[in-house]
């Protein structure tokens, strides 16, 4: 664990393919009102693409950032159904989620494609939120090797000043989805420590590393207390705005690496 660069904690959520443009404003309103004045952490939400204009309209001027769940590697062109970084930036987005395991699985996304998406986000001043994680439960050293390869594939060749602008979410694939359970705290600690070492060796001491995977109010405080966990990336539990508020306003443990 490094003390050379302070990091501001983050708590955010991706809705995946849930909620509607007509119902999302109620979620935004509830969360924005309940988190007004929260300044000791960054909060963000990643709704589906059709809801982003509503996110901009409802969340502008609040403490909550919004962003996209994916981004194309090219800025424009004949890519039917895709969304570009300049489109996200035009909607006020400041984050682009990249490399989620469901994108890797369902759309065959490779490390090379993910690297291109990272660079597209950086070109348009979006924070790339890279998702990494192993598919099957096992030893943390095995998970760390897999995650290390994913980090190298996505971030290889980035300069230190570019790397400083990214966010990493460790999401073990086996801990995602209905009926799954979050990884045990020793496993989380070991993998996060390995990610921290990988980043620090390349000048990424300011990069926040979040944990995602079956985060809910019963385990969030314990996860936040794990060394090298800089915040939480919440899934289905946060579709209830009151649950997200509870997670977003949890008391933060004291860490010497946190701003």
Longest dimension (CA), the chain: 49
C-alpha to C-alpha distance for 240 and 245, rounded to whole angstroms? 9
C-alpha to C-alpha distance for 185 and 234, rounded to whole angstroms? 16
C-alpha to C-alpha distance for 93 and 146, rounded to whole angstroms? 30
pLDDT at 223: 98
User: What residues are annotated to the active site?
Assistant: 100, 171
29 class by beta-carbon count within 10 Å (0-12 exposed, 13-18 middle, 19+ buried): middle
pLDDT at 248: 98
42 class by beta-carbon count within 10 Å (0-12 exposed, 13-18 middle, 19+ buried): buried
The architecture in CATH of the region 10-15+42-248 reads: Alpha-Beta Barrel (3.20)
Percent of residues, the chain, with pLDDT higher than 70: 98
Backbone phi, then psi, for 65, in 5-degree steps? -85, 155
Per DSSP, 258 falls in state B
pTM for the model: 0.97
pLDDT at 4: 59
Query: What digits encode the pLDDT tens for the residues 88-112?
Result: 999 999 999 999 999 999 999 999 9
Query: What digits encode the pLDDT tens for the residues 195-235?
Result: 999 999 999 999 999 999 999 999 999 999 999 999 999 99
pLDDT at 3: 43
C-alpha to C-alpha distance for 201 and 124, rounded to whole angstroms? 26
Report the SS3 class of residue 96.
strand
Domain residue ranges of the chain, discontinuous segments joined by +: 10-15+42-248
């Amino acid at each position: 664990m490094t003390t050379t660069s302070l990091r501001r904690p983050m708590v955010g959520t991706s809705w995946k393919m849930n909620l509607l443009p007509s119902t999302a404003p109620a979620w935004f309103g509830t969360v924005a009102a309940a988190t007004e004045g929260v300044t000791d952490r960054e909060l963000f939400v990643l709704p589906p693409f059709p809801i982003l204009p509503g996110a901009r309209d409802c969340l502008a001027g609040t403490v909550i950032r919004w962003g996209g769940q994916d981004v194309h590697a090219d800025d424009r062109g004949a890519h039917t159904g895709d969304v570009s970084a300049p489109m996200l930036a035009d909607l006020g987005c400041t984050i682009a989620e990249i490399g989620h395991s469901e994108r890797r699985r369902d759309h065959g996304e490779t490390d090379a494609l993910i690297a291109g998406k990272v660079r597209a986000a950086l070109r348009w001043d979006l924070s790339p939120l890279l998702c990494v994680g192993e598919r099957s439960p096992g030893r943390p050293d095995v998970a760390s090797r897999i995650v290390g390869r994913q980090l190298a594939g996505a971030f290889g060749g980035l300069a230190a000043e570019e790397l400083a602008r990214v966010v990493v979410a460790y999401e073990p694939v086996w801990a995602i989805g209905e009926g799954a359970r979050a990884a045990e705290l020793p496993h989380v600690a070991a993998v996060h420590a390995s990610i921290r070492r990988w980043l620090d060796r390349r000048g990424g001491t300011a990069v926040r590393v979040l944990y995602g995977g079956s985060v809910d109010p019963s385990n969030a405080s314990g996860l936040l207390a794990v060394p090298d966990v800089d915040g939480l990336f919440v899934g289905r539990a946060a579709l209830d705005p009151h649950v997200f508020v509870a997670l977003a306003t949890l008391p933060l443990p004291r860490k010497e690496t946190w701003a």
